[in-house]
């Protein structure tokens, strides 16, 4: 494996400075992956430019620096499969900047920018992928269809982890545990021979089909109804003592009349 020992100290120093600059202020659509232990291989992720068949794709590429860099150009390769006239099936990049137009004064930023521009403006005249070059010249729609197909299959961006999803799941789990605790506590206060209310005995299908919000709504509504019923019961006026006495007097009178009728018969 190549290491920094393969490069002269002055080159390592210059590369470290340039890589730091690329990391702090990356070019548009390009993210450099820095490995402090190996400057001889530079990795970068390139976003497919908008309006091209490579749009919405993320392409990993690498630049391999030889020991006599920067006097000789780096070699460029696409690690992500791509359908492009100037990129071969093994990922080799064909662009004049990395060949006859190379200049030691050109930096990594310039090289990476040129490679991304190649996705916007291919050069079919110097094609490494002859099929892609021919299609681009003769039938652009067919070429674009192939390029989009490759992009959709091989250059899908990696899904980003959503921190909110964990929070949502944790909240839902806590709500479920709280509801379970409440139901268990209520069931303990009910006699074993008493019939449980429908709220505490949902059918399996209904329980699985109901959403958490509906369950919470039912619990809230039930609590409100119970509270209302209790309030009405407590607000109802107590029976007057006068009514109780009247009822008792009427009962005594009936008993007395019945005794009189029995004596008359005797």
Q: Which residues are known catalytic residues?
A: 94
Which residues pair with residue 93 across a beta bridge? 87
Cis status, amide bond into 70, omega within 30 of 0: yes
Structure tokens at 169: 């799941």
CB atoms within 10 A of CB 109: 16
Cα separation, 2 vs 69, in Å, equals 14
Residues 6 or more apart whose CB falls under 8 angstroms from that of 72 comprise 66, 102
Full DSSP string of 211-241: -HHHHHHHHHHHHHHHHHHHHHHHHSPPPPH
In 3D, which of 177, 186, 168, 265 has the Cα closest to residue 223? Answer: 186
- What is the DSSP code (8-state) at residue 85? T
Structure tokens at 265: 């018969």
8 Å CB contact between 21 and 107 = no
Instruction: Determine the Cα angle at 250 with ends 245 and 252, to 5°.
Output: 95
Classify residue 265 as left (phi > 0), alpha (psi -120 to 50) or beta. alpha
């Amino acid at each position: 494996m190549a290491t920094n020992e393969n490069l002269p100290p002055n080159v390592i120093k210059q590369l470290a400075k340039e890589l730091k600059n690329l990391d702090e202020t990356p070019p548009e659509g390009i993210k450099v992956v820095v490995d402090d232990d190996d400057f001889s291989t530079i990795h970068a992720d390139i976003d497919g430019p908008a309006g091209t068949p490579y749009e919405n794709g993320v392409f990993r590429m690498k630049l391999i620096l030889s020991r006599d860099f920067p006097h000789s150009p780096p070699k460029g390769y696409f690690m992500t499969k791509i359908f492009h006239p100037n990129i071969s099936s093994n990922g080799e990049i064909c662009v004049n900047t990395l060949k006859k137009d190379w200049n030691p004064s050109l930096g990594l930023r310039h090289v990476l920018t040129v490679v991304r521009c190649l996705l916007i403006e291919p050069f079919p005249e110097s094609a490494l992928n002859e099929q892609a070059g021919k299609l681009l010249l003769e039938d652009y729609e067919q070429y674009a269809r192939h390029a989009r197909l490759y992009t959709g299959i091989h250059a899908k961006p990696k899904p980003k982890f959503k921190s909110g999803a964990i929070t949502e799941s944790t909240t839902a789990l806590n709500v479920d545990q709280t509801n379970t605790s409440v139901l268990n506590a209520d069931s303990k206060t009910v006699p074993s021979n008493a019939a449980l209310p429908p709220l505490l005995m949902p059918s399996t299908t209904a329980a699985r089909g109901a959403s958490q919000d509906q369950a919470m709504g039912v619990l809230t509504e039930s609590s409100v109804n119970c509270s209302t019923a209790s309030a009405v019961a407590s607000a109802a006026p107590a029976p007057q003592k006068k009514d109780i006495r009247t009822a008792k007097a009427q009962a005594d009178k009936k008993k007395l009349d019945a005794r009189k009728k029995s004596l008359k018969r005797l």
